[in-house]
Amino acid sequence: MLGRLNHVAIAVKDAKQAAKIYGTAFNAEISDAVPLPEHGVITVFVTLPNTKIEFIEPLGEASPIAKFVERNADGGIHHVCYDVPDIIAARDRMIAEGARVLGDGQPKIGAHGKPVLFFHPKDFSGALVEIEQA
Amino acid sequence: MLGRLNHVAIAVKDAKQAAKIYGTAFNAEISDAVPLPEHGVITVFVTLPNTKIEFIEPLGEASPIAKFVERNADGGIHHVCYDVPDIIAARDRMIAEGARVLGDGQPKIGAHGKPVLFFHPKDFSGALVEIEQA
């Protein structure tokens, strides 16, 4: 039921700058910076052979990661995202196991154009968990 | 030069308990708890199709993650580990790019029996980075 680790997201003040060392020291492929105004973030992806690192930077006044970046001036790991074959079945099973879904529990369209949901970090060892319809 | 994401490590008070929801809600494969006294941790691995989540729990008085778990009572993402084909070449290139290696800079044998090194979180957007000889 649990699919691939889709990405690890690191929230920072400057996504392009943060991704840079992965390009220079590691020769990894770095995407362009893509603003996602509807999510309040700018994203830069680093592609690894088996998954991605997503750097996210606050965009706009109401960015959902503004406070996180304020609290973590150097940046920090913000969430991990897992693919699931059926997001509604996965949501219901996780809720049945006691995990709290964030927001109204209805999937929204995420950065990859697919439905996503977030779960409370307190139910996942302090790690904010995103699930994405594979 | 940068290989696979080897694992994401989440530090918690009780590794077995923390991994449990991945087994029950996600049907993921959960390893037994393995004490690694020389590293001061107990580890439990969750196997995903493309990588692993490693739960680490402090073991002993001098555990290197004791303070982290004290500060993050619910747990938290502790580090990310990348495979590299040549750990010495990777280390030297990362140092040349301004990243600070932790400890004496000499690889130690990690949880998988392979040489590992850690780099300062301040040089990687607040994320403690481990590299492991692939």
Q: Would you call A47 exposed, middle or buried from its count of C-beta atoms within 10 A (0-12, 13-18, 19+)?
A: middle
The CA distance from B45 to B17, in Å, is 12
- Closest-CA distance of chain A to residue B37, Å: 22
pLDDT at B2 over 80: no
Span A53-67, pLDDT tens digits: 999 999 998 999 999
pLDDT band at B1 (very low <50, low <70, confident <90, very high): low
| B130 in active site | yes
Unique residue bearing structure tokens 């001061």:
B40
Which ipTM value was assigned to this complex? 0.88
> What's the confidence (pLDDT) of residue B115?
95
Cα–Cα nearest to A33, from A16, A12, A9, A8: A16
- The 3-state secondary structure of chain B reads CCCCEEEEEEECCCHHHHHHHHHHCCCCEECCCEEEHHHCEEEEEEECCCCEEEEEEECCCCCCCHHHHHHCCCCEEEEEEEEECCHHHHHHHHHHCCCCECCCCCCEECCCCCEEEEECHHHHCCCEEEEEEC
The CA distance from A132 to A117, in Å, is 7
> What's the confidence (pLDDT) of residue A130?
95
> What's the confidence (pLDDT) of residue A54?
95
Cα–Cα nearest to A20, from A9, A7, A32, A36: A32
> What's the confidence (pLDDT) of residue A39?
86
Which among A49, A97, A99 is the nearest to B3, CB-wise?
A49
> What's the confidence (pLDDT) of residue A1?
60
Span A18-70, pLDDT tens digits: 999 888 877 889 999 999 888 899 999 999 999 999 999 999 989 999 999 99
Q: Taking residues B33-50, what's their average pLDDT?
A: 92
Span A66-110, pLDDT tens digits: 999 999 999 999 999 999 999 999 999 999 989 999 999 999 988
> What's the confidence (pLDDT) of residue A103?
93
Inter-chain residue contact A51 with B50, CB threshold 8 Å = yes
Which among B53, B55, B77 is the nearest to A77, CB-wise?
B77
Inter-chain residue contact B24 with A97, CB threshold 8 Å = yes
Pairing, β A5-11 against β B115-119? unpaired
A72 interaction partners in chain B (CB closer than 8 Å): 126
Which among A24, A90, A125 is the nearest to B74, CB-wise?
A125
Average pLDDT in chain A = 92
- CATH 3.90.480.10 assigned to domain B5-133? The reply is no
Which among B5, B10, B25 is the nearest to A127, CB-wise?
B10
A97 interaction partners in chain B (CB closer than 8 Å): 21, 24-25
What residue spans define the domains of chain A? 5-133
Phi, psi (degrees; rounded to nearest 5) at B119: -120, 150
pLDDT at A17 over 70: yes
Ranges assigned E (strand) in chain A = 5-11, 29-30, 34-36, 41-47, 52-58, 76-84, 108-109, 115-119, 128-133
Q: Provide CB contacts within 8 A for B29, sequence distance 6+.
A: B23, B46, B47
> What's the confidence (pLDDT) of residue B57?
97
CA A80 to chain centre: 6
Phi, psi (degrees; rounded to nearest 5) at A119: -120, 150
| Residue A130 DSSP class | E
- Interface A-B, measured as beta-carbon pairs within 8 A, has a size of 129
- List, in sequence order, every residue forming a beta bridge with A30; answer none if it has no partner: A46
| Interface residues from chain B to A (CB-CB < 8 Å) | 1-5, 8, 10, 12, 18, 21-22, 24-28, 48-51, 53, 55, 72, 74-77, 80, 82, 84, 90, 93-94, 96-99, 121-127
- Closest-CA distance of chain B to residue A131, Å: 11
The CA distance from B132 to B134, in Å, is 6
Span B12-35, pLDDT tens digits: 999 999 999 888 877 889 999 999
